[in-house]
Structures are given as structure tokens and as C-alpha cells.
Amino acid sequence: MNSQFKPRARQEKLLVREMDSGESIVYDLETNEAHCLNHTLTMVWARCDGKTAIREIAVAITMELDEAFSEELVQVAVAELDEAGLLEDVPVEAQQAAALSRREAMGRIGKGALIAALVPLMTTILAPTPAAAGSCKASGASCNSGFECCSGYCNAGTCA
């Protein structure tokens, strides 16, 4: 990925909650996915304004953390954000380069070049729609787990 690429964070149809820990929860209203961005990924995403190049993002985060934060780590973060659909207008060339850069960067990071806590990470879950979240199975219905049953108990494949 070109270090002069200027990623831009998506703003539409997202609910964002910044946590005291520095992490962010981003809920995508289009895909019903909830993304938990760790502190460093949150820092990168906050700087994806379409005006700041990857190289500049790395320098800014290095200064803020008072810890080396390489362009490779920014590239890993940008690749994660793009894969989750949290960036806009990422050119195909940048997407292809990001996949290669991510493997290379993780290889370098894996060799002990940086503290693991600085690696930008994201956890994504598919959230149920409001209708699905509000529904449950009645006693006697088939089930796989207690979460499906109104009673909260699944006994041998049947809601208790």
C-alpha cells in the first residue's frame, strides 16, 4: 500500500461509541455488524480523514504514544478497517496491496519488532436484527442452546 494513500473513514449509517479504555464500538446499520476496535485501531481510524497519508498517520500516532508506530502497522490497520467496510473509496490497487502489506507487516511484527499491545486489532460480530433479538422459542420447540429459548433452558434439543 502506498504510504501516500489517504484513507477516509466512512461516516454514514454507523453508530460509534468510544469507551474510556480508548477502544471503540462501531455498529454498522447496513450490515448489522458490531466492530470492536482496540485502542491503536481506534487511533488510526480517527485519523482517516481523506487528507492524512499513511505515513503522516504513523508519525502522529508515534508522537501521541511516545512509542514507535510504523507505517506497516498503519497499513495493517487500514486493511482491517477496509475489510470491515469502515473506509470509503479505497482503490482496488490499495486493497490488493493491503493484503500483501498486512502479511509482510505481521511477519515483521511477529519477529518481535514491536510490542504486541500496539498491533491494531478488530473483533466483529453479526448482531441480530431487532426482530430476531426480541424473539425466543416457546417450551417444546427444538433448540441448540438456552439462548434460543424463552425459558433460557435447552434440554436435549428441546426448550424446557
Q: CA angle at residue 120 from 118 to 124, to 5 degrees?
A: 145
- What is the residue type of 16? V
Range 148-158 average pLDDT: 86
One-letter amino acid for residue 135 of the chain: S
State which H helix or E strand residue 94 sits in.
Answer: helix 92-108
User: How large a percentage of the chain has pLDDT more than 90?
Assistant: 42
C-alpha pair distances (Å), 43 with each of 49, 58, 78, 111: 12, 10, 11, 24
The tens digit of pLDDT for each residue in 60-117 reads: 999 999 988 888 888 888 988 998 999 998 766 655 555 555 566 556 555 554 445 5
pLDDT tens-digit readout, 2-56: 678 899 999 999 999 999 999 999 999 998 899 999 999 999 999 999 999 999 9
Q: What is the mean pLDDT of residues 136-160?
A: 86
pTM of the model: 0.69
- The per-residue pLDDT for 55 is 94
